[in-house]
Amino acid sequence: MPDLTKDGLGEFYVRDTHRVYLYDGASLAQLFTIDSSPLTATCDPDFTTQTADSAGDLTGDGVPDLMFGQECAAGFGQVVMVDGTNGTELFRVSPPENRAYFGHTVRLLPDMTNDGKHDWLIHSREGPFGSGQSGTLLGAVHLFDSQTRKVVRTLRNTEAAFSFNMEYVAVIPDVDGDGKPELLTGSRFASRRDGQTTYTKAGRALVRSLETGKVLYELLDPEPRTDGAFSLLALCAAGDVNGDGISDIAIGAAPKNNRAGGVYLFSGADGRWLRTLKSPKSQLGFFGGRIQAMGDLNGDGVPELWIEENLATVTHLFDGRTSTLLKTIKYPGLVHNNPLGGPKFTIGIVQQEASPGIRALLFAAPQVPDFDGRVYYMPFTPLPKLPRLKATGKTSSGFRLQVTGESGSKVEVQGTGDFRIWDPVASVTLGNQPAEVEDSAAANQSQRFYRAVQKE
């Protein structure tokens, strides 16, 4: 959640079936609570998605206000807008049509109406029933003008019911060059056809323009199966992984390979598959059930990815650019033994303005110890600085470079002429000043390329 107390730290919220609790990200003091409306008896709430966000500054006091989706309230769902200073309700947004699950996902958008103000995205998820109705309720995404509170655009499911469901959605940066964000939407149970083969309930994901609603491209599972594994709950922008200037996309496939899981990275420019991340634990841990883009923690210009491996009660932090595992972080809390199963925990973060941008990691465990619920707050330890190389010039005996990075770290400088074989040039232990190295092999070569590899 945004910084409401002007201390440079974001806040966070915790919810149960009756109310939402907002906490200070620094002191962990409770700021205020918001009561939830009674649930509609025929509605099946989904507690897995982003049902709260900043609403922009609606009151003009310089403090962000908040919006909370209540998809099972008031018959078809609603979104409650509250004052960010004290939690007082400002107003409610009702669904523009009689579709259930309104408020399943809410997101603050940049200015979509050219009035200089932020706008809102409110999602009605697809579902088989709701509010006493039978049959299929088709999903929709509504863009609201925050000043008039009117719908300015609705993106609907363009296909037959359950051929593609607007089940889960995320907002990603502009990929088509119109300066507006796009919509990433996924469905666990949609079928797809590849040549002569139909993959029933394989899962699908689409990228659509939020400006026009046009389908820009489909993200194709590179390993299609019939277990609903693709585009589960984890959909997010991954930063510019391939260096083409356009943010790329990460999609979790936790049920894959008998719940071993995986995370697929796709090009934001055209939807092309880039690479697959696998669990370093090689076990059936449901890897990829949740993905959190962390911001750029090591200074290479790409956000790192924090990935949940729920059944193994661990999480993994991956380098955003190279997909190298940076660290494994164990879930710190109690583990439920519910025979009906379900996730053991979910993850979140507390942001801060100062580097590295993350104050704490959050682990929520709603089923422990006896369905009372727990939230664990873990202060985040910054990552070490990446080693960097700077060319200082050619000499009569070779080529000289400077190496900088985390003090005390051991780095090997390597060189190559063809990118196939990397030769060791020098090993150094870094201090507070740049380390100088010289590559004598460069004296007899027309071109030479270098990299710094951290050894410890």
Which of 57-66, 206-215, 227-236, 365-374 shows the lowest mean pLDDT across its residues? Answer: 227-236
Amino acid at 242: N
pLDDT over 50 (residue 349): yes
Query: Do 426 and 289 belong to one domain?
Result: no
pLDDT over 70 (residue 133): no
Domain stops at, among 379, 400, 422:
379
Query: Do 21 and 132 belong to one domain?
Result: yes
Using a pLDDT cut of 90, give the percent of the chain over it: 50
Residue 330 lies in a domain: yes
Reported as a single tens digit per residue, the pLDDT across 286-319 is 898 899 999 898 888 899 999 999 888 999 999 9
Distance CA 159, CA 164 (A): 6
Residue 424 lies in a domain: yes
Geometric angle at alpha carbon 302, from 269 and 181, rounded to 5°? 45
Would you call 256 helix, strand, or coil by DSSP? helix
pLDDT band at 1 (very low <50, low <70, confident <90, very high): very high
Amino acid at 359: R
Query: Do 264 and 192 belong to one domain?
Result: yes
pLDDT over 90 (residue 166): no
pLDDT over 60 (residue 212): yes
Query: Do 312 and 445 belong to one domain?
Result: no
pLDDT over 80 (residue 339): no
pLDDT over 60 (residue 162): no
Average confidence (pLDDT) over 31-47: 72
Task: Give the per-residue pLDDT at 132.
Answer: 44
Residue 6 lies in a domain: no
Reported as a single tens digit per residue, the pLDDT across 422-445 is 899 999 999 999 999 999 988 888
Amino acid at 177: G
Query: Do 170 and 260 belong to one domain?
Result: yes
Please spell the DSSP secondary structure of 270-331, one letter per residue: T--EEEEE--TT-SSS-EEEEEEE---SSSSSS--EEEEEGGGTEEEEE-TTT--EEEEEE-
Structural domains in the chain (count): 2
Task: Give the per-residue pLDDT at 136.
Answer: 56
Geometric angle at alpha carbon 204, from 198 and 206, rounded to 5°? 130
Query: Do 326 and 441 belong to one domain?
Result: no
Average confidence (pLDDT) over 21-41: 86
State the maximum Cα–Cα separation within the chain, in Å, rounded to a whole number: 84
Task: Give the per-residue pLDDT at 456.
Answer: 61
Task: Give the per-residue pLDDT at 75.
Answer: 76
Task: Give the per-residue pLDDT at 315.
Answer: 93
Mean pLDDT of the chain: 86
pLDDT over 60 (residue 47): no
pLDDT band at 245 (very low <50, low <70, confident <90, very high): very high
Task: Give the per-residue pLDDT at 134.
Answer: 43
pLDDT over 80 (residue 200): no
Place of tokens 């270098």: 450
Q: Which position has the higher pLDDT, 119 or 416?
A: 119
Q: Which position has the higher pLDDT, 455 or 4?
A: 4
Domain stops at, among 379, 399, 432:
379
- Highest average pLDDT, of 30-44, 126-140, 213-227, 313-327, comes from 313-327
Average confidence (pLDDT) over 170-196: 86
Query: Do 367 and 408 belong to one domain?
Result: no
Residue 190 lies in a domain: yes
Query: Do 318 and 371 belong to one domain?
Result: yes
Distance CA 365, CA 101 (A): 24
Query: Do 398 and 260 belong to one domain?
Result: no
pLDDT band at 379 (very low <50, low <70, confident <90, very high): very high
Question: What CATH number did the domain enclosing 90 receive?
Answer: 2.130.10.10
Distance CA 362, CA 90 (A): 29
Task: Give the per-residue pLDDT at 343.
Answer: 74
Domain range holding 361?
12-379
Average confidence (pLDDT) over 213-225: 86
Domain stops at, among 360, 379, 398:
379
Residue 2 lies in a domain: no
Burial of 61 (0-12, 13-18, 19+ CB in 10 A): exposed
Distance CA 170, CA 117 (A): 21
Sign of CA dihedral 137, 142, 147, 150: negative
274: closest CA among 302, 300, 294, 311?
302
pLDDT band at 187 (very low <50, low <70, confident <90, very high): confident
Query: Do 353 and 428 belong to one domain?
Result: no
Query: Do 307 and 419 belong to one domain?
Result: no
Query: Do 343 and 418 belong to one domain?
Result: no
Which of 127-136, 214-223, 340-349 shows the lowest mean pLDDT across its residues? Answer: 127-136
Average confidence (pLDDT) over 183-195: 79
Residue 275 lies in a domain: yes
Average confidence (pLDDT) over 75-100: 90
Residue 7 lies in a domain: no
Residue 1 lies in a domain: no
Burial of 343 (0-12, 13-18, 19+ CB in 10 A): buried
